[in-house]
Amino acid sequence: MEKFNVDSHGFYGRFGGAYIPEILYDNVENLKSVYLEVLNDPSFREEYYALLRDYVGRPSPLYLAKRLSAKYGCKIYLKREDLNHTGAHKINNTIGQIILARRMGKTRIIAETGAGQHGVATATVCALMDMECVVYMGATDVERQSLNVQKMEMLGAKVVPVTSGNMTLKDATNEAIRDWCCNPSDTHYIIGSTVGPHPYPDMVARLQSVISEEIRTQLLEKEGRETPDYLIACVGGGSNAAGTIYHFLDEEQVKIILAEAAGKGVDSGESAATIHLGKVGIIHGSKTLIMQSEDGQIEEPYSISAGLDYPGIGPMHAHLAEVGRSQVLAVTDDEAMTAAMELTRLEGIIPAIESSHALAVFGQKKFKPEDVVVLCLSGRGDKDMETFVKYFKADSY
């Protein structure tokens, strides 16, 4: 029985599993039976690491942020996932899954996307590997995120606007699942986070675990030890966080602090703080914490950050929070935006608004001068410029 990681049935404690319609059973079973073998195959690893190095630009630097450290009185390293090709950690996962899909003989790729970041990362690897690519995206998001829609289309993907429900990420995911049901033999579904039915959460966590693998090597070089005192990351579905903590899970002296999006406040009714507010239920094939009403209707989440407003949370993170392995802080829009401006002015790095939620942890929690803290800077802020400009317009910055 695994203490913190997935067990052989696909569960993290009482969370996880694979709750899927019968028509997908063969697909998911097939994936489950091959993914570990493929991911551990030396020729897969060779191809995966070569692309991560020469195409994505890995290893991403571990950067000692001196002015940020001085301000908060501890030693802060930023793991620079923002420097990856396409601007975030998501490409680590899509590179791995596209190689896997090809090895499974698939010719067609589908994906869901909210803000469009995962859609762009998927369209990118499909162009690279000459695969047909269909991306489902809520019609509301298609309108809000036109630059990413344009990128996906330029990369050769077909973007399908979804008009059911609230026309956002949850609805796009439902539509992608529907497509997979209709095209089970030639299609691989690239899920963008540590969510969905087993084996997706584990598979995505493993593909993102290159982050913690590199942190260990880089910390050893810079600090003479492989383990930090604290790891900090933001959680939407949980993939950058899973990648950041993966190789430290069993070393309990390494404390884990995760930031989820509180929107306008945990109790405001406009939030995406799933771990604080969620109740157990099943969403997109997985048993986890979900924002839902008394009668089990999924509630529409809200956050200023499009990448964090998912009504569920990866089962790994539901479990780690429940057993106390991680501490989860709720960060409001205002706290995240303040942290974004602070990093920009102190270090000359404009972070993604998602990553800014992780940065806001420094405003909530005090660290000791000798603490070594590694924070996953999951993405860059280019995509968020419009939101930043609008938000700070009234201010004196």
Ligand X SMILES: *Cc1c(COP(=O)(O)O)cnc(C)c1O
User: Applying CB under 6 A, which residues contact ligand X?
Assistant: 88, 90, 117, 193, 234-241, 307-308, 352, 354-355, 378-379
| Helix axes 117-129 and 90-103, enclosed angle (nearest 10) | 40
Complex with ligand X: residue 142 or 234, whichever CB lies closer = 234
Q: Which is nearer to ligand X, 75 or 340 (CB)?
A: 340
**Catalytic site residue 252?**
no
Residue with smaller CB distance to ligand X, 197 or 236? 236
CB of 186 to ligand X, least distance (A): 27
* From 75, 151, 378, 383, the catalytic residue: 378
Residue of 112, 175, 342, 347 with catalytic role:
112
Instruction: Identify the active-site residue in 69, 75, 79, 90.
Output: 90
Q: To the nearest whole angstrom, how small is the minimum distance from the Cβ of residue 334 to ligand X?
A: 18
Does 90 participate in catalysis according to the annotation? yes
Q: Hey, how many other C-beta atoms are within 10 angstroms of the C-beta on 105?
A: 9
User: Minimum distance between the CB of residue 351 and ligand X, rounded to whole angstroms?
Assistant: 8
Whole-number Å distance between alpha carbons of 349 and 388? 14
71 is catalytic: no
Complex with ligand X: residue 192 or 228, whichever CB lies closer: 192
Please report how close the Cβ of residue 377 comes to ligand X at its closest, in angstroms: 8
Nearer to ligand X, 75 or 319 (CB): 319
CB of 25 to ligand X, least distance (A): 26
Residues marked as catalytic:
90, 112, 378
